[in-house]
Each structure stands twice: as structure tokens, then as C-alpha cells.
């Protein structure tokens, strides 16, 4: 007997997001036109109610009111991929880390290319923050959801942190939201 996969679709500032869950845990968050998206199945069952907490936390994140997600997740992949995805979750909100530094952090020094490939296969985008990984020279390289979305997510986090650090919580001059 196969376990039911639940699905829902939510709107976001970076476009529609497709959510999937199984056995009480989030197993997927994909963006429209994202690379490496697992194929949908006719067996999937829409259940917007199950995803209410996920949608609420995503709304709070995009509003700049949430910096850390608290959701049951199950990341399915190879042992190495899971190490990389767990490593992504250790990158603090609003900060970035190079592929090489992440490779060292997950016990694979010199494995920046393998980390990049695993990063591109992250099944739970945004919540598992693969957008926080950048090139060694600080460049924004590769993102399964498109570089424009990566820029948008990093900018959202930068602005949110700037507001938190500015007296009175105002957005600094020149910053946009």
C-alpha cells in the first residue's frame, strides 16, 4: 500500500508554490518553472487544510515577520544530499555561505561542485534555504528557481534584518521592499 501524498498550491511574492506532504511531514516545496521538480502524480490528493500552518509560516516569512521555520519535514535523497540540505538549515537568516564553505561544513572539503549539485536538488526550496549559498567570489551562481528569485529572497532577508537593526524598525533610506 502506498502512502497518500497531499498537495496544495499557495501564492507568494516569488510566484505560486506547490507544497507536498506525506505521513505528516512536508516533503516538497517547488516553484513554477523550477528545475529538478519531481513529476506530479494523479494519485496526489489536494488538501489545503493540512498545509494551513505551512502557508501561514510562508506568509510570515515573506512579510518579514518570520526568520526560522518550525515545520515537520522529511528530506528524501542520498545520504550526502541530506547532509547538504541539513547544512543549508544551519545558515543563519540573512547570511550567505559559499559552496566551498558549505562543503567543508558537511565534511566534504573540496566538494563544492557536489554540494552545488545537491543544493540544486533541494526538495523543499525557501524553507530549506538553498538560496543562501553563493559563489566563492560572492557572486550569485545557480538557483533551481532562477537567479531572479534568489536575488528576491536574499533581498527580502537583507531588508528584514536592516529593519530589525534600525532604531524604530524603519527601512533604511534607499531600501525597497
Catalytically annotated residues: 130
* Radius of gyration over every alpha carbon of the chain, rounded to an integer in angstroms: 17
Residues 6+ apart with CB under 8 A from 40: 7, 18
Distance CA 177, CA 169 (A): 14
Say how far apart CA 161 and CA 158 lie, in whole Å.
5
C-alpha 21/C-alpha 155 separation (Å) is: 28
The residue among 5, 81, 156, 155 whose CA lies nearest residue 18 is 5
Full 3-state SS string of 35-48: CCCCCCCCCCEECC
Amino acid at each position: 500500500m502506498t502512502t497518500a501524498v497531499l498537495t496544495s498550491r499557495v501564492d507568494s511574492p516569488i510566484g505560486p508554490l506547490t507544497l507536498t506532504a506525506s505521513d505528516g511531514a512536508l516533503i516538497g516545496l517547488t516553484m513554477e518553472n523550477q528545475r529538478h521538480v519531481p513529476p506530479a502524480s494523479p494519485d496526489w490528493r489536494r488538501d489545503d487544510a493540512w498545509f494551513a500552518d505551512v502557508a501561514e509560516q510562508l506568509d510570515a516569512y515573506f512579510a518579514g515577520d518570520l526568520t526560522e521555520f518550525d515545520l515537520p519535514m522529511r528530506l528524501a535523497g542520498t545520504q550526502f544530499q541530506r547532509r547538504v540540505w541539513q547544512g543549508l538549515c544551519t545558515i543563519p537568516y540573512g547570511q550567505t555561505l559559499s559552496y566551498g564553505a558549505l562543503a567543508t561544513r558537511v565534511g566534504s572539503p573540496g566538494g563544492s561542485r557536489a554540494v552545488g549539485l545537491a543544493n540544486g536538488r533541494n526538495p523543499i526550496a525557501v524553507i530549506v534555504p538553498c538560496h543562501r549559498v553563493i559563489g566563492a567570489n560572492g557572486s550569485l551562481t545557480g538557483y533551481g528557481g532562477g537567479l531572479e528569485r534568489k536575488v528576491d529572497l536574499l533581498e527580502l532577508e537583507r531588508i528584514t534584518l536592516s529593519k530589525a537593526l534600525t532604531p524604530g524598525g524603519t527601512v533604511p533610506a534607499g531600501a525597497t521592499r
